[in-house]
Amino acid sequence: MDLEYHAPEREEQTEAPEFATPADEFNLDLPQPEKTEKTAKPRRSQGFRLKTTMITAVASAMIAVVAINDSFDIDMLNRDVAPIVEPEPEPEPEPEPEPHQLPEPEPEPDAEPHVLPEPEPEPEPEPEPEPVEELEGDDAFPALPNLDPNPYFEWSDGNHDEKYIYISGAESGYIYGGADIVTYSPIVNISGASYNAAMNTLTLTNFSCSWMEVNLMGNGFRINLVGESHIGRLVVWGFMYGGSVTFEGGGSLYLNEGGDQSAGLILQAENSMSCVMVNPGCRIESWGADAALAVLDSTCEKGLYYLKGMHLEGGTVGIYSYDVTSTGADGTEETATYAYQSVVTEDGTPSKHIILANAEPENIENGGI
């Protein structure tokens, strides 16, 4: 409990009481402070004086204890006093676990500005391949029937054999003929012209004549050219059987050089599958007042075939058609259309001069091929 101290009332004193100091009580020879003239002090309350008296007494006691301690080397303050046990230091509190923190996300790099990719340059167009000039001419000759010379006409009941090769010129005559020919005309030999029956081939070697006529020798008939030959006109007949002619060899043949004949080469197919065929290596040149070449009444697709590696000068293979007007017995006019296969020019008319030869520089002559 709290105790309150109530000091007894005392009479007022004008002077403070004198107290014996510890030095006086223990006869200690302590230096005395010089006394000074006392000055009048202000009056204090009784409580203040009591507090001052107690403080002074406590201080005197403490000084006395210190003095005894020094004199007898005795620690009076610690004598018969239990040692002071210092309290064990409280363990340091474990650090509170740091609150679980999500790792801070790494800052996203600044987004690069969206840049549209540059369009890839368009590839340069591949140069168009240079057009390959298609070789002029045919890949092959047509497959034709009736290759051998005709022995007999079916329509003649087998009574006529009129195949032949006839030459007119400085030397004239049949150099080959069937049964009906030899009965009234002997076979002759003419220099520069020879016929091989086994091969159905006529060979002309530097030969010249005014005209030559070939009849029913079949679609396998050949003329082999050796050197340079000249013929005023060449006529071949087919008469419902076959009357083709194939030129071959390394020579040349010039037909109707004067141009006075209607055509230099005439093939009268007479409703047979007949045509003119030219192999590379030889040269054929023809002229005509109306046409250089005329193939009449043939059932072949074309009248002229020449193989690749050759060149045709003077026009293209085609058909020429024309009208013929005639007056009947009653005086009325009638118009008929006729046509034949030939080499035609750009305006559709027959060419009057043609050249067929290899497409090599050595065959170029006078602006030709």
Domain-located, residue 274: yes
**Which pLDDT belongs to residue 58?**
64
Task: Count the Cβ atoms, other than its own, within 10 Å of residue 357.
Answer: 24
User: Going edge to edge, which strands form the sheet with 222-226?
Assistant: 193-196, 201-205, 222-226, 245-249, 276-278, 304-306
- Are both 359 and 212 inside the same structural domain? yes
Same-domain check for residues 189 and 332: yes
Residues 202 and 301 occupy one common structural domain: yes
Give tens-digit pLDDT for 200-245: 999 999 999 999 999 999 999 999 999 999 999 999 999 889 999 9
Instruction: For residue 154, report the phi and psi dihedrals to the nearest 5 degrees.
Output: -65, -35
Q: Is residue 185 part of a domain?
A: yes
CA-derived radius of gyration, the chain: 77
Which tokens is 174 given? 């049949």
Angle (CA) 185 227 281, round 5°? 110
d(CA 200, CA 212): 16
Question: Residue 87 falls within a domain, yes or no?
Answer: no
pLDDT of residue 369: 40
Is the confidence at residue 338, as pLDDT, over 80? Answer: yes
pTM of this prediction exceeds 0.75: no
Among 35, 58, 76, the domain-final residue is: 76
Indicate whether 306 and 203 sit together in one domain.
yes
Q: Over 60: is that where the pLDDT of 31 sits?
A: no
Quick one: pLDDT at residue 135? 75
pLDDT of 101 higher than 70:
no
> Is residue 120 domain-resident?
no
Q: What is the pLDDT of residue 192?
A: 97
pLDDT > 70: percent of the chain: 67
pLDDT at 18 over 70: no
CA distance 258 to 328: 36
Does 22 or 343 have the greater pLDDT score?
343
Note whether residue 317 is domain-resident. Answer: yes
Quote the CA–CA distance of 93 and 126 in Å, as a whole number.
86
Is the domain of 172 the same as that of 258?
yes
pLDDT at 43: 54
Residues 241 and 356 in one domain: yes
Reduced 3-state DSSP string for 145-208: CCCCCCCCCHHHCCCCCCCEEEEECCCCEEEEECHHHHCCCCECCECCEEEECCCCEEEEECCE
Res 156: pLDDT: 55
- Whether residue 173 lies inside any domain: the answer is yes
The SS3 of residue 333 is strand
pLDDT band at 179 (very low <50, low <70, confident <90, very high): confident
Do 169 and 66 reside in the same domain of the chain?
no
Residues 202 and 324 in one domain: yes
Q: How far apart are the first and last CA of the chain?
A: 154
Is 45's pLDDT higher than 60?
no
Number of domains in the chain: 2
Domain holding 64, by residue range, is: 45-76
Tell me, what's the pLDDT at 123? 81
Given this model, what pLDDT does residue 361 score? 53
**Which residue from 200, 157, 163, 204 is spatially nearest to 180, judged by alpha carbons?**
163
- State the average pLDDT over residues 339-343: 96
Query: pLDDT at residue 160 above 80?
Result: no
Residues 234, 337, single domain; the answer is yes
The pLDDT of residue 66: 55
Domain membership of residue 265 (yes or no) is yes
Say if residue 56 is in the same domain as residue 158.
Answer: no
Encode pLDDT of 104-146 as tens digits. Answer: 767 776 666 767 777 788 888 888 777 655 678 999 999 999 9
Q: Parallel, antiparallel, or unpaired for β 164-168 and 245-249?
A: unpaired
176 and 317 assigned to the same domain:
yes
Residue 137: inside a domain: no
Residue finishing a domain among 34, 61, 76? 76
Residues 164, 61 share a domain: no
Q: Classify each residue of 118-154 as buried b or exposed e, where b means 16 or more C-beta atoms within 10 Å of its C-beta.
A: eeeeeeeeeeeeeeeeeeebbeebeebebeebbebbe
